[in-house]
Copies of this chain bind each other. A is one copy, B any other.
Amino acid sequence: MIAVDWGTSSFRAYRLDANGGILDRRSAARGILTVEAGGFADVLAEEIGAWLDEEPGSVFISGMIGSRQGWKELPYLGCPVDLEAIARACGTVDWDRGRQAFIVPGVSCRDAHGVPEVMRGEETQIIGAIEELGPDAVVCLPGTHSKYVRVRERRIMDFTTHMTGEVFGVLWRHSILGRLSETEAVDDEPAFDAGVDRSAEGQGLLHHLFGVRTRGLFREIPAAGLASYLSGLLIGHEIRAAAPSAPVAVIGAADLTRLYCRAFARCGVPARPITGEPAPRGLWAIARSLGAAT
């Protein structure tokens, strides 16, 4: 089968064997925001066309591809949800020479105060990681919009989102905070740690952000470390606000996972990285649940 993780900014495709092992892969900067309406079938054919003659199996796609800006909008599934419910709710699109592609629906819930929460793609990663997670887990998926997900008996119970990655990007690129340095890289560990520690102090994030400026101006944080300090500050605020009640399993890109595990340790929260590639594994599990993982 073919598994595709198709998000806002990236496209990642995997050719899988019947056990979910990865036979081949390709990726491109062809996220859904780069594709015009009506163009998804063509982009998919261009990217994975070379596999199609030898690969008669199904194509399963997860991520923002199922949103209003994607190929076909699928309604969110309400929590709690498990693998079988997600598999049953997959939508289909007609595609290449009569072949269908399956699109995985997103998931929604309400936070403790009734405010809506949504995800598209992370549910598939959690399903793909479930053997490593175990039946009960608290999962952090860091990124543009970081998620904290509570899993019980292999079901996604509820989750919360923090806009950490996007806030970092726009503040660094568009506010006064990025003016003292050219280096957006987060690679200064002492500065990162100082940011995480700062997040424990009083008077809130909006006050702490101004301190990124003044500690730069007063040269208390070196200019090349300011992005690291800002990153640590934001991630620290995220972790302390999320206040996970159990050891955390972190699913994400290797660099970001390492950074988050460092921040969790500094905040006194036990955390472990999840290895492997949960997105194709989750798509394979969904296909298998539908009897389509050939």
Contacts from A to B (Cβ < 8 Å): 111-113, 115-118, 145-146, 160-164, 166-167, 170-171, 173-176, 198, 201-211, 213-215, 217-218, 220, 234, 237-238, 240-243
Contact = CB atoms under 8 A, between A and B. Distances in A.
B205 A145 contact: no
A161 B164 CA distance: 21
Contact of A167 (B112, B160, B171): B171
Contact of A203 (B171, B218, B241): B241
Nearest to A202: B112
Nearest to A164: B206
Contact of A111 (B113, B166, B207): B207
Contacts of A202: 112-113, 241
A55 to B, nearest CB: 35
B163 A242 contact: no
A140 to B, nearest CB: 13
Given A240-B204, A241-B206, A242-B203, A115 B211 contact: yes
Contact of A206 (B113, B163, B220): B163
Contacts of A198: 113, 115
Copies per assembly: 2
Contacts of A112: 201-203
A207 B241 contact: yes
Contacts of A234: 206
Between A112, A206, A213, A237, the greatest number of chain B beta carbons within 10 A of the residue's beta carbon is seen for A206
Contacts of A203: 111-112, 160, 241-243
Contact of A162 (B118, B170, B173, B204): B204
B115 A161 contact: no
A145 B210 contact: yes
B163 A118 contact: no
A199 to B, nearest CB: 10
Nearest to A218: B116
A207 B113 contact: no
Contacts of A173: 174
A220 B218 CA distance: 44
A281 to B, nearest CB: 27
A214 B175 CA distance: 24
Contacts of A204: 162, 205, 237-238, 240-242
Contacts of A237: 204-206
A231 B237 CA distance: 20
Given A111-B211, A167-B171, A175-B167, A116 B220 contact: yes
Contacts of A170: 170-171, 174-175
